[in-house]
Amino acid sequence: MSLSFLHGGLALLGIAAASIPIVLHLLLKQRPRPIRFPALELIRKRQTTTVRKLRLRQLILLALRIALFALLGLALARPTLRSSLMPIDQEAPVSAMVIFDTSLSMQYQKEGKSRLDVAKAVAKDLVGEMPEGSEVSVIESSFPVSSVPLGARAAASRVGSVELHATPRPLNDALQVALKGLAKSERDRREVYVLTDLAATAWNMSGTDRIEQLAELVGGGSGIYVIDVGVENPEDIAIDDVRLPEQVLAEKTPLRLTATIKNRGPAVDRPIEVYVDGEPRHTKMIHLEADGAEEIAFSVPGLEVGRHHGSVVVRAGDSLPFNDEYYFTVEVREAIRVLVVADTPTDAVHWVNALVPALLRNQEPRYEIEQAASKDLGDTNLAGFDVVSLINVGSLAQESWLQLSTFVQEGGGLFVALGERTDKNSFNSASARLTLPAELLEEVRVPDGIYLSLDRFTHPLLRTFGRFASTDFEVLAVLAYWKVKLAERGTQTLASYTNGDPAILERSFGEGQKGRSIMLTTAAHYRPDLQTWTEIPLGWSYVVLAEQMIKYLAGASEANLNYLAGDHVTVKIGDKQPFALYTVTDPKENVERMSLESGESALTIPAVKELGSYRVEARENGRAFVSGFSVNEPSSESELRRLEPEELVKLLGEDRAVVVRDKEELEQAVDTGRVGRELFPWIMLLIIALVFGEGYLANRFYRKPKLDA
């Protein structure tokens, strides 16, 4: 804290005037008259006490009168109190940083104006009223980079160009950039203005240390003014999320999705619509309870093979339009082509039935399955298949192993389930080790049984199991399996048995569309005799595992076609002859041209910014490549909980930040920050109290006693 005076000379004059009561006290000091009567000796004994009381009363009145004159001079000097040493010239140029909250919650409309419109108007008034010669930098929270300091006119123009963006970053980042910029300024007065709707999601409430360090670096003469342009009690209907069980669908499989609608406000009824490729495909009316949420499911049949862009729309008609539409992209592929190889057809029965249950064979199949004997594998053209499954195969010729290696290296998927027929020497051959994820060590029998344990639910193969409370793998015994040694490169264990030995292993071959092989170290078939290896094929979890296995190896479950704003998007090309040039068209029809680096098999599009559906295309010599994806805002941006001013002041520092709501509060806060808080009103109140106090004590001390009649 520091104290300064607008009129220092008057303060000295007040101190000099404080000597007047002292002079008067000395000149008018009453002197006791000597009493020489012997009869009054008793009164003399009380003389000392009387004199002391008289002197004390005189000193009290003297002190009050001295303080009265001193305070009059102090009041005329207009003292101000400031939290830091700052120049008192209110017209001195300012170095200012104006930070805009450019998150999409600032789109909120009231009285025909968005929060950004209000923030721009406040900023233009603020810049226009700054002292001549001031420098202003404008910072957007979505891209926290300090701009070149501008004059008032140029700064006002820059304010007009500020836009909202779908790539939110905490306002803490922009504030740190602003404080770094001010630390380099040579101006004595440095100010930061933050224009925000006070949405809690715009701040990192744990990021205080860095702000404090930078504020200390800037030092005295700086202030942070948070200007609240938000709405006290916002109301909104938002699509919080849209869940797609599958982003890649088999041909003639209906698109299924579930939308979650949140209501912040009174109970209402609203229509929900689903669009695919710009055409309305479904409409439902939904009732939303006050401050509640509802889920609504849709099924859209009849999508043709290819990429499809769609959206879910709620006709809310509210003040925040960006969250009334949620975009999605799905891909419809032809049925996955699977080759099932076994020594005998009976070994493959359970695997085939899991992929194409007998009850569903009259419907459109999700998989095209072809079976072959292991001895005929060398005569089969694998180029026509997406996945090859080896079920309890005894041995393969070297040419067949090399054929499988080429198939996987070119992007195919290989599933290998071991069993009692498995020939260790064949599976450990040099040609087999090119593809398999592990070397076989020994066959292990477990008469009491062990069980398959799943816990890596983040992996695409096992993600579906994470939605189940439990599986029947916990009760289906494994009585025999192969103990294995993992390959040195590209291999990971996806699941183990309850004794810790590996059960499901994966080996990947490069990035992008390169293939992978997966090994199940026990059997995928069931034999109801003494040679039983496992009971796993008898449970429903086996059917789920089989389906997820084929989809994963075919690249269907791993495909990601839907992203959040700010994500880096990967578009897999998967073509042996990539195109020289690809065009990426965003939802606003802006086109960016990209090319693949040598050896790459996927395009990487950094930090997508626009909400909506993107197209990725290439055409060359009669060939064509068409792909795409969709981008949405994180659901957290629709959380409109506002910070209390006390929370924000605590975050930014109580001695350096203030939160204001209107122009009058801002002007008062800026004046206080620049000049300091004037003490004149408080001093005048104290003077009035002293005047009354001095009069009261003077009358009490020198009150004449009443004379008896």
Q: Between 265 and 670, where is the model more confident?
A: 265
Question: pLDDT digit string (tens) for 219-230?
Answer: 555 688 899 999
Backbone φ and ψ for 576, nearest 5 degrees, come out as: -65, -25
% the chain with pLDDT above 70: 82
Distance (Å, whole) CA 364 – CA 38: 137
Q: Between 180 and 427, where is the model more confident?
A: 427
Residues facing 708 on adjacent strands: none
Say what the pLDDT of residue 709 is. Answer: 46
Say what the pLDDT of residue 692 is. Answer: 79
When pLDDT is averaged across residues 303-328 and rounded to a whole number, the result is: 93
The CATH number corresponding to 236-326 among 2.60.40.10, 3.40.190.80, 3.90.650.10, 3.30.160.100 equals 2.60.40.10
When pLDDT is averaged across residues 627-654 and rounded to a whole number, the result is: 87
Residue 496 contacts residue 502 (beta carbons within 8 Å): yes
Question: pLDDT digit string (tens) for 142-179?
Answer: 988 877 888 888 999 999 999 999 987 899 899 889 88
The string over 199-210, giving b where at least 16 C-beta atoms fall within 10 Å of a residue's C-beta and e elsewhere, is: bebbbeeeeeee
Burial group, residue 93, by CB count within 10 angstroms (0-12, 13-18, 19+): middle
Asked whether the predicted pLDDT for residue 522 surpasses 90, the reply is: yes
pTM: 0.75
Residue 579 contacts residue 551 (beta carbons within 8 Å): no
Distance (Å, whole) CA 645 – CA 625: 53
Does the domain at 336-553 match CATH 3.40.50.880? Answer given as yes
DSSP H stretches of helix in 410-457? 424-427, 430-433
Question: For 34-48, 235-249, 354-368, which range has the lowest pLDDT when averaged over its residues?
Answer: 34-48
Say what the pLDDT of residue 87 is. Answer: 46
The CATH code that applies to domain 94-231+645-675 is: 3.40.50.410
Going by DSSP bridges, is the β-strand pair 293-300/222-228 parallel, antiparallel, or unpaired? Answer: unpaired
When pLDDT is averaged across residues 76-87 and rounded to a whole number, the result is: 56
